[in-house]
């Protein structure tokens, strides 16, 4: 029987996820991963309860499209502006948390797809924030013109670049594949007197229909994914986050926040499980396409 992607995602809760993969759980198809991540149109648009996740990281996105507000004494960093239609939701979430929308000073993104970075121009118009992007995604972003608006690019970043504001530093890691400039962000947070390594996964999933072999538009795409997974495996991670809530079981973890005890977002095994999951899908697609090329 075909595994239901939503039901499968409910199994991946916290540290219990790793043994499932170690025991050989069914490899998900690109369509199942896509469905898990993107959800329905209603889920893409519905505000998820804004909340403090850990340290100075707050969630201000929707049920399936993740947006993070990283607060500092000198203003705030927003990771992922999402679709333009989501901007009112982001603004409401920021204000519901007691912060000023206009205090957003820097806008970052995970990768050059509309569900993550379409609203960069609108957000810049509303806040005056600087938009910083990975250099390999510049061409794709320049072609992203909602309503005819040019995509703002105030600073071009390279692999390993550091973005610092108010004592908080994020490091950009090139994890290409889903896009040429897909970016995974890392940072450290202090919470409860302890320091934690945070990884905001860009996107390592293979979308339905992606050609990994004989890709005329990007002949190196398979090698880019392989290098991206090498980077992902090398990153120390206590707190896995990502461009979609399904990547880190946000719904289940948020529900556990109110129960007390250790913060459920602290989930190093969940990070390993997620990377193993998407890498298994990548390898499965690559092997199949190599057989049929």
Dist CA 284 CA 64 (whole Å): 25
Dist CA 66 CA 235 (whole Å): 21
81-101 pLDDT per residue, tens:
999 999 999 999 999 999 999
Dist CA 249 CA 14 (whole Å): 8
Q: Are strands 75-79 and 68-72 parallel, antiparallel or unpaired?
A: antiparallel
Dist CA 58 CA 104 (whole Å): 13
CB of 33 closer than 8 Å to CB of 205: yes
The pLDDT value recorded for residue 258 is: 87
The pLDDT value recorded for residue 240 is: 98
CATH number of 37-292: 3.60.15.10
Q: Residue 248 to residues 23, 37, 285: CA-CA distances in angstroms?
A: 20, 10, 23
The pLDDT value recorded for residue 25 is: 66
Nearest Cα to 268, choosing from 241, 228, 243, 231? 241
Nearest Cα to 147, choosing from 113, 121, 178? 121
178-198 pLDDT per residue, tens:
999 999 999 999 999 999 999
Dist CA 220 CA 114 (whole Å): 23
Q: What angle do CA 64, 152, 46 make, to 5 degrees?
A: 20
The pLDDT value recorded for residue 6 is: 35
- Reduce the DSSP state of residue 126 to 3 states and report it: helix
Whole-structure pTM value: 0.91
The pLDDT value recorded for residue 24 is: 54
Q: Are strands 104-108 and 75-79 parallel, antiparallel or unpaired?
A: parallel
The pLDDT value recorded for residue 162 is: 98
What does the pLDDT profile of the chain (293 residues) look like in tens digits?
333 333 333 333 333 333 333 335 689 999 999 999 999 999 999 999 999 999 999 999 999 999 999 999 999 999 999 999 999 999 999 999 999 999 999 999 999 999 999 999 999 999 999 999 999 999 999 999 999 999 999 999 999 999 999 999 999 999 999 999 999 999 999 999 999 999 999 999 999 999 999 999 999 999 999 999 999 999 999 999 999 999 999 999 999 998 988 999 999 999 999 999 999 999 999 999 999 86
**Domain boundaries, given as residue ranges, for the chain:** 37-292
As a three-state string, the secondary structure of 167-190 is: CEEEEEEECCCCCCCCEEEEEEEE
């Amino acid at each position: 029987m075909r595994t239901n992607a939503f039901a499968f995602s409910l199994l991946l809760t916290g540290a219990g996820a790793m043994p499932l993969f170690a025991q050989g759980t069914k490899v998900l198809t690109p369509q199942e991963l896509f469905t898990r991540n993107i959800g329905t149109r209603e889920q893409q648009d519905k505000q998820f309860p804004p909340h403090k996740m850990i340290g100075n990281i707050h969630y201000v996105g929707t049920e399936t499209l993740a947006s993070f507000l990283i607060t500092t004494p000198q203003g705030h960093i927003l990771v992922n502006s999402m679709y333009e239609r989501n901007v009112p939701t982001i603004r409401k979430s920021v204000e519901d948390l007691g912060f000023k929308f206009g205090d957003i000073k820097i806008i970052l993104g995970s990768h050059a797809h509309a569900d993550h970075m379409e609203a960069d121009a609108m957000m810049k118009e509303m806040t005056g924030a600087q938009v910083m992007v990975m250099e390999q995604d510049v061409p794709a972003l320049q072609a992203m013109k909602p309503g005819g608006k040019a995509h703002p690019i105030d600073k071009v970043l390279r692999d390993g670049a550091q973005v610092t504001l108010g004592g908080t530093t994020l490091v950009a890691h090139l994890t290409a594949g889903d896009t040429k400039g897909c970016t995974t962000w890392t940072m450290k947070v202090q919470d409860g007197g302890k320091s934690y390594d945070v990884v905001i996964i860009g996107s390592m999933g293979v979308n339905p229909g992606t050609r990994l072999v004989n890709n005329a538009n990007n002949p190196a795409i398979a090698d880019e994914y392989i290098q991206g997974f090498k980077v992902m495996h090398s990153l120390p991670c206590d707190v896995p986050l990502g461009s979609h809530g399904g990547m880190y079981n946000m719904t289940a973890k948020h529900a556990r926040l109110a129960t007390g005890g250790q913060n459920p977002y602290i989930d190093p095994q969940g990070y390993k499980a997620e990377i193993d999951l998407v890498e298994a899908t990548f390898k499965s697609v690559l092997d199949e396409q190599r057989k049929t090329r």
